[in-house]
């Protein structure tokens, strides 16, 4: 099979042309590779150059500036995309090598040799349907010759491997007069003949009469002889007789003469497939004769002598063929290996029904007026009459119920024109047509047509047309639709039926464009009153002749009747409008005598106003076929008065070449309005609705005015005699300067009007049509009879009226300047209104400004100006660009330098880029308010504004160096910082003070600073200081300490340089401020590692234990964060005297000491004191001391318990706010606790594995802790919530939760040798992994699974996710993978859970039952297992072995506010732990004091009892 071929004609920059062909290329090709192909073809062409070829410059193939430009100006510098080009067509590409030397002329660019290989390249309109219709035309022409009683049937069957066309025509056999060879030879020789004729006649108008023009073919007598000899075979005479019979008959002209047009059976079959088999039988013959065609054989013969031969045969008819042809004759064409790709049979049926509709069903053939079926058409066994679809049926369904407007046209060649042509038959002199206008009502501009288009789109038969572009004229020739002959009509749908006098194009899809009958028919709609030059047009309606004016009047009356009955008025404008009755002259498109004239109109939300400059794009409608038209809006006309139905609307516009004084005029005099359209034009309102009407800027309008002036009449030039001879006309002045006497003057003087772009010095352009203005201007010449010599002088000089200024020279690219620098020198020329350069009279006063889309950026006053020596150029130099408004045009910095005179009538604009300057100035916003900073202080808000010298922010992306001293940079960007899109560097929350407090005893502060460097130069620096602080003891210390006692209630303070306590040294975990003291001793090991909180600069230490031995006791009190705040204290320690309690005598025997009760507070302790003797005073002092100590402890406990309650409430609130995210249950099992539970199962495999894990946990971290063994299922992942942990554990069961995960069976066997008992092992290498996609950029490598969807397309309510994705894998376990690279999630967890869905509640899970395919669980205990149909687990079950609950150290999915709450919660828990430790310490001290107090009290009571007993004894 032939591949797809792309053919390119390459225009090289040195003026050469080469051809490049590519067969089956890839979709894209690098441009450099394409250049290499061109280079090779160029080298081949240079080997045998033509002697007439001029020498060309050498091409620089090594240049890196090569690029490709296509016919539309699109540039391709990287890749050549072949989807932009059609295959089997020749495309022109232009190559550029970056050289300044370019050419516009290319040798050998056009090849005028005709191509006879029609099988290789057919016209683009020759489609599958066109080729199939060619074959059906042959069948239709055959069956039509069958008598009235014969069966007229055409059957088409389209299958993947074969296409069959069967007809019940007379058939063909082997006889000379009815040979099957005719089917083949006719088209074959006709093709060659057409090519030869076209060598002499390039006019398509002569093509349709080529049989009459045989006598002009002089260069190939043998071909002419062959063709004339084969005319009998070709059936030309028969075709001519058919054509004559098909002219002038009764409409709808159902005589299927399709003559010599089309590409014939062989071309059509080879277009549809690679091989064809033609089988035919006549009524008289008993055999079926066959003819074989093969595409390759025809292609091999297409370039050689016209001796095409092919195979054939004879056979008996099949039963199917006999059954389909009751009269015994048929022809069947079978196309094998067809080119059928995704063919929509229904659409094909609709298209064929449209083409042959009158032959399928017709109301005009029968004499009774009933619908008849002239021919039975079938496609794939379905009768086309039963097909409900297609454009014809749909259009008929939606037409108006009103009467149709019908008339006949007879076209004939005028006698004077016919006499100049060769004599021909009636077939070439006459044509007839019937025009039927069907009205489609318009509702708000479009109703019925839109329904037709919508129905066609629903049927798949739409052709991309909209209401505005709907072509409402369809043409049939001899009842056959010409699909491409679709002309434009405004208010009605027109059906034109033509006879055989009209000729179609070769593809039979349109009327021959240059045929005089076609031209006359096409012009009839809008040039009805004008007479055709070559054709007479006779009009008849209802059997009577009619004149064009009378027909137009009847048509307008019919339109008005349809308007009044069926139409609804279009939308009006914003203004009230002026009512005009009876416009001065006829307005095209307006039939009413009453119109409303408006200055504004609103269409689709857009307001159109009078005076706007518009552009109507080509193809918008009649009059806009070839090019865009530039107009000025003048008025909007709406038919009828307000409220009338059916009012049409028109736009009145003045063309570009019409002066304003010649435009339309609306005048009001004596309250009577008059409207005169004059030279303005009327266009339909649908042009706006179609989107092909656009408003334009003044620059584009002025550009078109300039072009118009170049084409406008400028000068008159008298032609010389030789020029007149070239034009084959008489007249002209002689070329000689003198003539002899008696020489007769020329009878005629021929002069031409030249456009403004014409230069008289170019002699080669004198007769060029584009330099001759086609105009209706009248010219006259006056002469003196006595004149002996004619002298013609013409000098054209430029106008003195300044038209515009123009930038001279070529600025490469868009200039880019930095603010504060100077713009490149500029040269400006002055042009007149016709574009001619004129000198400056003097140095003009100019203004220079920097402009942009957001306004003026700067008025520039620093520049130099001057004129060149010839005064043709204004030199503007040293333009200093200064502006402080560049932030308005960030980030592209697009601007325009505008230079204009003071009056501002003309100007020159130079697009440019103005970049901001470098970094001379930086400001910090807001400035740091604290003059002296505290250590740990974080600068929460600081933005460095990076400005140039003129106040513009620096361009995004500039990199600077951030230097810090005493600060720490908190983010990951480090010291290299880049300017952001706002021209700033945001340091908010980035700088943290790391320098400590200064010492009070030092005279200097501790400096901190940050600075910015650019190009190793410091451009900004801010210096700050830290505060001075000192730690001191506010309470009084004893002179010495007793060994084994406590140093109690020591008060520490942090003071500033003035000696005042600093209340800012306050522990506030919520704000991130942690201030506490630690007590360490060098001489005694303090067991209580407790931090004491600093509150508002103070901290009280309840007690410090003194060592039991004497000597000196040294301890250090230090701030937990700032080591410079520390105090070293040394006190002497003495041993306490040993005194037995029962030997103490109380000196206070006179006091009353009550017994110690349950309450041992200070008040109770004081009540114990009774008058005793002086020798018992020491024992009483001890009781008072311990009582006071107990009281202090109780007060301290009261404060600490209150603080604990506050912290607990704070933590509880944070936990409540985290509940929606974490959804924690009552108790959360950590990984450590699960390890302990597993270890308690002695001698199990899981327990042994956990012990191994602990033994290796203290060593260097590894990916796994035993060769090939990765761990237990329960320990290889964590989950976010306790509920999820327990429900997933229940789903798996304890056996699977405690399963050992290993790499392979070998590793499992090695581990199992030392284990007694049975245990479950999961080998990753044996698991079938998940092979789908993973979530892009997810560090957890989660599986990309589609969310479940209900039948309505929504995700079920309460769906949380898939269980396999809700297991979080620790960082060290992310490296575990199989030999194929699959990790734990793709293997282990996908094997355990599959696509198990997790829902919030059981209700949500039940509602989603329809989309649960692999099971589901809910957080409140519901479980659905797919393998257990109808079984659902509900309720709760407490599993001992669950997944640990925790967060990943690399988890980044939490929202910032959740992360913040989590950090606050952790800090609160630390505070709670701290306060609990303090409470435990104070409670222990209180209990110690209480024990000692009880002991002292007991001794004291005993002493008192002894004293009382002693006194009693004394008495």
Spatial neighbors of 1187 by CB under 8 A, at least 6 apart, are: 1160, 1161, 1162, 1164, 1165, 1166, 1168, 1493
User: Is residue 817 over pLDDT 60?
Assistant: yes
- Which pLDDT score, from 0 to 100, does residue 98 have? 80
Spatial neighbors of 1103 by CB under 8 A, at least 6 apart, are: 1046, 1047, 1048, 1049, 1485
Task: Give ∠ CA 601-602-604 in degrees, rounded to 5.
Answer: 145
Exposure string of 257-284, with b = 16+ CB inside 10 Å and e = fewer, is bbbbbbbbbbbbbbbbbbbbbbbbbbee
Q: How far apart are CA 959 and CA 471, in angstroms?
A: 62
- Which pLDDT score, from 0 to 100, does residue 878 have? 92
- Which pLDDT score, from 0 to 100, does residue 1152 have? 37
- Looking at residues 1148-1175, what average pLDDT do you find? 39
User: Is residue 1129 over pLDDT 90?
Assistant: no
* 3-state SS string for 1344-1355: CCCCCCCCCCCC
- Which pLDDT score, from 0 to 100, does residue 1453 have? 41
Model confidence at 212, pLDDT cuts 50, 70, 90, reads: very low
- Which pLDDT score, from 0 to 100, does residue 59 have? 84
User: Is residue 1224 over pLDDT 50?
Assistant: no
- Which pLDDT score, from 0 to 100, does residue 221 have? 36
Task: Map residue 290 onto helix, strand or coil.
Answer: strand
Task: Dump pLDDT digits (tens) for 421-437.
Answer: 544 455 568 899 998 88
Task: Map residue 1493 onto helix, strand or coil.
Answer: helix
Higher pLDDT, 730 or 1400: 1400
- Which pLDDT score, from 0 to 100, does residue 655 have? 92
User: Is residue 1497 over pLDDT 80?
Assistant: yes
DSSP secondary structure code for residue 324 in this structure: H
Model confidence at 961, pLDDT cuts 50, 70, 90, reads: very high
Model confidence at 205, pLDDT cuts 50, 70, 90, reads: very low
- Which pLDDT score, from 0 to 100, does residue 868 have? 92
**Tokens in use for 449?**
């047509």
**Tokens in use for 135?**
């074959």
- Which pLDDT score, from 0 to 100, does residue 501 have? 86
- Looking at residues 17-40, what average pLDDT do you find? 88
User: Is residue 128 over pLDDT 80?
Assistant: yes
- Which pLDDT score, from 0 to 100, does residue 256 have? 78
Higher pLDDT, 808 or 1451: 808
Q: How far apart are CA 1010 and CA 1020, in angstroms?
A: 8
User: Is residue 1143 over pLDDT 70?
Assistant: no
Higher pLDDT, 20 or 469: 20
Task: Dump pLDDT digits (tens) for 1250-1263.
Answer: 877 666 554 444 44
Task: Dump pLDDT digits (tens) for 667-678.
Answer: 888 888 889 888
- Which pLDDT score, from 0 to 100, does residue 423 have? 47
- Which pLDDT score, from 0 to 100, does residue 301 have? 53
Q: Per mean pLDDT, which of 24-33, 121-130, 211-220, 1255-1264 is the most reliable?
A: 24-33
Task: Dump pLDDT digits (tens) for 35-61.
Answer: 889 888 888 887 766 555 667 788 888
Model confidence at 195, pLDDT cuts 50, 70, 90, reads: very low
Where does 1298-1346 have alpha helices with state H?
A: 1305-1312
Q: What percent of the chain has pLDDT over 90?
A: 14
Exposure string of 1292-1316, with b = 16+ CB inside 10 Å and e = fewer, is bebeebbbbbbbeeebbeebbeebe
Q: What percent of the chain has pLDDT over 70?
A: 75
Kindly give the interhelix angle for 264-272 and 128-144, rounded to the nearest 10 degrees. 140
Confirm if 1006 and 1025 have CB atoms less than 8 A apart: yes
Q: Per mean pLDDT, which of 831-835, 1079-1083, 1353-1357, 1397-1401 is the most reliable?
A: 1397-1401
- Which pLDDT score, from 0 to 100, does residue 929 have? 66
When mean pLDDT is compared across 155-159, 762-766, 1063-1067, 1416-1420, the lowest value belongs to 762-766
Q: What is the mean pLDDT of the chain?
A: 77
User: Is residue 154 over pLDDT 90?
Assistant: yes
- Which pLDDT score, from 0 to 100, does residue 680 have? 92
Task: Dump pLDDT digits (tens) for 370-381.
Answer: 778 889 999 999
Higher pLDDT, 1458 or 1162: 1458
User: Is residue 975 over pLDDT 80?
Assistant: yes
When mean pLDDT is compared across 253-267, 580-594, 1144-1158, 1356-1370, the lowest value belongs to 1144-1158
- Looking at residues 265-289, what average pLDDT do you find? 84
Task: Dump pLDDT digits (tens) for 1306-1335.
Answer: 877 777 766 767 788 899 888 889 988 888
- Looking at residues 915-940, what average pLDDT do you find? 81
User: Is residue 851 over pLDDT 90?
Assistant: yes
Model confidence at 1168, pLDDT cuts 50, 70, 90, reads: very low
Exposure string of 1216-1227, with b = 16+ CB inside 10 Å and e = fewer, is eebeeebeeeee
User: Is residue 724 over pLDDT 90?
Assistant: no
- Which pLDDT score, from 0 to 100, does residue 1216 have? 67
The DSSP-derived string for 1231-1279 is HHHHHHHHHTSTTSHHHHHHHHHHHHHTS---S-SBTTEEEEGGGS-BB
User: Is residue 145 over pLDDT 80?
Assistant: yes
- Which pLDDT score, from 0 to 100, does residue 236 have? 38
When mean pLDDT is compared across 96-105, 449-458, 517-526, the lowest value belongs to 449-458
When mean pLDDT is compared across 37-46, 434-443, 912-921, 1472-1481, the lowest value belongs to 434-443
What ranges make up the beta strands (E) of 599-738?
Answer: 600-603, 606-609, 613-616, 629-639, 649-655, 665-669, 672-676, 681-684, 693-695, 713-718
- Which pLDDT score, from 0 to 100, does residue 984 have? 93
- Which pLDDT score, from 0 to 100, does residue 1307 have? 78
User: Is residue 732 over pLDDT 50?
Assistant: yes
Higher pLDDT, 534 or 298: 534
When mean pLDDT is compared across 35-49, 239-253, 620-634, 852-866, the lowest value belongs to 239-253
- Looking at residues 995-1006, what average pLDDT do you find? 75
- Looking at residues 1063-1071, what average pLDDT do you find? 72
Task: Dump pLDDT digits (tens) for 541-567.
Answer: 988 998 888 888 888 788 767 766 665
- Which pLDDT score, from 0 to 100, does residue 123 have? 58
Residue with tokens 């699909």: 483
Q: How far apart are CA 892 and CA 894, in angstroms?
A: 5
Q: What residues are paired with 1432 via a beta bridge?
A: 1424
């Amino acid at each position: 099979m032939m591949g797809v071929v792309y053919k390119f004609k390459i225009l090289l920059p040195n003026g050469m042309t080469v051809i490049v062909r590519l067969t089956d290329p890839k979709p894209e090709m690098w441009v450099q590779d394409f250049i290499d192909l061109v280079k090779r073809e160029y080298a081949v062409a240079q080997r045998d150059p033509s002697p007439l070829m001029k020498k060309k410059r050498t091409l620089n193939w090594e240049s890196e500036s090569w690029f490709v430009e296509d016919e539309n100006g699109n540039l391709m510098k990287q890749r050549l995309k072949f989807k932009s080009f059609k295959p089997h067509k020749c495309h022109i590409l232009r190559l550029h090598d970056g050289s300044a030397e370019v050419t516009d002329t290319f040798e050998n660019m056009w090849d005028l040799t005709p191509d006879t290989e029609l099988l290789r390249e057919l016209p683009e309109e020759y489609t599958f349907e066109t080729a199939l219709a060619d074959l059906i035309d042959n069948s239709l022409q055959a069956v039509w010759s069958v008598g009235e009683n014969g069966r007229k049937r055409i059957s088409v069957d389209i299958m993947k491997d074969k296409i069959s066309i069967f007809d019940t025509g007379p058939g063909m056999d082997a006889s000379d007069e009815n040979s099957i060879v005719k089917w083949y030879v006719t088209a074959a020789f006709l093709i060659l003949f057409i090519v030869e004729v076209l060598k002499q006649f390039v006019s398509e108008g002569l093509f349709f009469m080529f049989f009459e023009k045989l006598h002009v073919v002089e260069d190939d007598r043998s071909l002419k002889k062959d063709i004339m000899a084969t005319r009998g075979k070709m059936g030309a005479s028969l075709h001519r007789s058919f054509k004559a019979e098909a002219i002038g008959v009764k409409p709808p002209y159902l005589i299927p003469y399709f003559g010599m047009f089309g590409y014939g059976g062989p071309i059509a079959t080879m277009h549809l497939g690679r091989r064809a088999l033609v089988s035919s039988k006549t009524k008289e013959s008993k055999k079926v004769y066959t003819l074989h065609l093969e595409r390759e054989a025809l292609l091999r013969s297409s370039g050689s002598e016209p001796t095409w031969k092919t195979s054939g045969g004879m056979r008996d008819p099949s039963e199917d063929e006999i059954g389909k042809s009751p009269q015994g004759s048929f022809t069947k064409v079978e196309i094998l290996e067809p080119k059928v790709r995704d063919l929509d049979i229904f659409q094909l049926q609709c298209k064929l029904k449209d083409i042959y509709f009158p032959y399928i069903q017709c109301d005009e053939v029968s004499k009774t007026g009933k619908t008849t079926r002239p021919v039975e058409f079938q496609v794939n066994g379905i009768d086309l009459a039963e097909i409900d679809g297609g454009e014809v049926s749909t259009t008929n369904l939606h037409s108006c119920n009103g009467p149709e407007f019908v008339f006949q046209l007879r076209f004939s060649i005028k006698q004077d024109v016919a006499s100049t042509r060769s004599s021909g038959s009636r077939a070439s002199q006459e044509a007839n047509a019937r025009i039927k206008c069907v009205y489609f009502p318009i509702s708000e501009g479009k109703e019925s047509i839109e329904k037709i288009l919508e129905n066609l789109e629903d049927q798949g038969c739409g052709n991309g047309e909209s209401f505005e572009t709907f072509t409402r004229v369809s043409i049939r020739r001899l009842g056959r639709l010409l699909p491409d002959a679709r002309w434009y009509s405004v208010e009605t749908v027109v059906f034109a039926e033509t006879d055989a006098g009209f000729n179609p194009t070769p593809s039979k899809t349109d009327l021959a464009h240059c045929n005089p009958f076609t031209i006359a028919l096409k012009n009839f709609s809008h040039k009805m009153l004008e007479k055709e030059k070559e054709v007479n047009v006779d009009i008849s309606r209802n059997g009577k002749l009619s004149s064009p004016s009378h027909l137009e009047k009847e048509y307008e009356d019919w339109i008005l009747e349809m308007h009044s009955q069926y139409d609804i008025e279009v939308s009006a404008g914003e203004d009230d409008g002026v009512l005009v009755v009876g416009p001065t002259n006829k307005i095209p498109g307006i039939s009413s005598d009453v119109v409303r004239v408006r200055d504004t109109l609103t269409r689709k939300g857009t307001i159109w106003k009078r005076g706007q400059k518009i552009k109507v794009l080509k193809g918008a409608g009649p009059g806009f076929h070839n090019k865009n038209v530039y107009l000025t809006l003048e008025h909007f006309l709406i038919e009828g008065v307000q409220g009338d139905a059916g009012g049409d609307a028109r736009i009145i516009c003045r063309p570009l070449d019409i002066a304003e004084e010649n435009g339309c005029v609306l005048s009001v005099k004596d309250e009577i309005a008059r409207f005169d359209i004059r030279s303005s034009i009327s266009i339909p309102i649908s042009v706006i609705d179609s989107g092909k009407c656009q408003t334009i800027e003044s620059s584009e309008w002025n550009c078109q005015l300039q072009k118009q002036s170049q084409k406008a009449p400028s000068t008159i030039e008298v032609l010389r005699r030789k020029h007149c001879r070239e034009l084959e006309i008489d007249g002209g002045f002689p070329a000689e300067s003198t003539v002899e006497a008696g020489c007769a003057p020329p009878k005629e003087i021929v002069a031409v009007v030249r456009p403004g772009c014409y230069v008289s010095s170019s002699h080669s352009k004198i007769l060029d049509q584009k330099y001759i203005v086609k105009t209706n201007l009248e010219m006259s010449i006056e002469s003196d009879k006595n004149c002996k010599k004619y002298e013609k002088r013409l000098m054209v000089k430029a106008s003195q009226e300044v038209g515009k200024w123009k930038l001279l020279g070529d600025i490469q690219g868009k200039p880019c300047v930095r603010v504060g620098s100077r713009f490149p020198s500029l040269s400006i020329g002055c042009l007149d209104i016709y574009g001619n350069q004129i000198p400056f009279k003097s140095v003009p006063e100019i203004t220079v400004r920097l402009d942009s889309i957001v306004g003026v950026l700067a008025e520039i006053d620093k520049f130099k100006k001057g004129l060149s020596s010839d005064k043709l150029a204004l030199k503007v130099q040293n333009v200093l660009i200064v502006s402080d408004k560049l932030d308005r045009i960030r980030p592209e910095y697009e601007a325009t330098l505008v230079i204009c005179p003071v009056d501002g009538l003309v100007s020159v604009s130079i697009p440019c880029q103005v970049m901001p300057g470098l970094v001379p100035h930086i400001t910090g916003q807001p400035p740091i308010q604290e003059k002296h900073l505290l250590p740990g202080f974080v600068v929460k808000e600081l933005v460095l504004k990076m400005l140039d010298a003129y106040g513009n922010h620096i361009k995004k992306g500039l990199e600077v160096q951030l230097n810090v001293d005493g600060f720490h940079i908190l983010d990951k960007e480090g010291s290299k910082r880049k300017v952001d899109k706002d021209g700033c560097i945001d340091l908010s929350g980035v700088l943290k003070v790391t320098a400590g407090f200064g010492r009070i005893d030092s005279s200097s502060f501790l400096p901190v600073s940050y600075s910015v460097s650019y190009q190793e130069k410091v451009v900004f620096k801010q210096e700050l200081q830290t505060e001075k602080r000192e730690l001191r003891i506010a309470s009084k210390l004893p002179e010495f300490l007793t060994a084994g006692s406590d140093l109690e209630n020591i008060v520490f303070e942090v003071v500033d340089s003035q000696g005042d306590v600093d209340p800012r040294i306050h522990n506030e975990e919520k704000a991130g401020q942690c201030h506490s003291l630690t007590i360490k001793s060098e001489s005694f090991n303090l067991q209580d590692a407790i931090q004491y909180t600093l509150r508002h600069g103070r901290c009280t230490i309840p007690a410090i234990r003194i060592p039991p031995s004497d000597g000196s006791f040294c301890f250090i009190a230090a701030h937990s964060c700032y080591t410079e705040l520390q105090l070293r204290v040394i006190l002497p320690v003495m041993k306490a005297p040993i005194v037995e309690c029962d030997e103490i005598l109380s000196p206070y025997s006179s006091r009353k000491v009550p017994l110690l009760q349950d309450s041992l507070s200070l008040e109770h302790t004081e009540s114990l004191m009774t008058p005793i003797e002086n020798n018992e005073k020491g024992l009483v002092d001890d009781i008072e001391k311990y009582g006071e100590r107990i009281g202090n402890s109780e007060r301290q406990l009261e404060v600490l318990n209150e603080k604990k309650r506050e912290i607990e409430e704070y933590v509880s609130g944070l936990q409540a706010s985290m509940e929606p995210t974490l959804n924690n249950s009552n108790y959360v099992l950590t990984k450590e606790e699960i390890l302990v539970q597993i270890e308690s199962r002695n001698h199990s495999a899981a327990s042994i594995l956990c012990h191994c894990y602990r033994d290796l946990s203290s060593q260097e971290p590894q990916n796994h802790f035993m060769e090939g063994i990765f761990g237990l299922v329960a320990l290889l992942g964590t989950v976010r919530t306790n509920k999820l942990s327990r429900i997933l554990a229940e789903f798996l069961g304890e056996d699977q939760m405690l399963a050992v995960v290993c790499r392979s069976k070998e590793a499992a066997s090695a581990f199992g040798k030392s284990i007694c008992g049975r245990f479950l092992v999961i080998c990753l290498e044996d698991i079938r992994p998940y092979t789908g996609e993973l979530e892009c950029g997810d560090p957890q490598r989660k599986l990309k699974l589609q969310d479940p969807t209900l039948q309505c397309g929504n995700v079920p309510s309460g769906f949380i996710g898939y269980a396999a994705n809700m297991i979080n894998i620790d960082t060290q376990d992310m490296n575990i993978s199989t030999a194929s690279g699959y990790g734990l999630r793709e293997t282990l967890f996908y094997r355990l859970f599959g696509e198990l869905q997790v829902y919030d509640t059981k209700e949500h899970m039940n509602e989603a039952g329809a989309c649960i395919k692999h099971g589901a669980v809910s957080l409140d205990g519901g479980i659905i297992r797919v393998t257990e149909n109808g079984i659902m687990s509900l309720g709760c079950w407490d599993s001992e072995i669950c997944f640990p609950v925790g967060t990943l150290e690399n988890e980044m999915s939490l929202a910032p506010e959740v992360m913040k709450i989590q950090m606050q919660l952790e800090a609160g828990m630390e505070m709670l732990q701290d306060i609990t430790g303090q409470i435990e310490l104070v409670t222990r001290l209180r209990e110690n004091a209480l024990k000692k107090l009880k002991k002292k009290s007991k001794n004291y009571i005993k002493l008192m009892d002894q004293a009382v007993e002693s006194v009693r004894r004394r008495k």
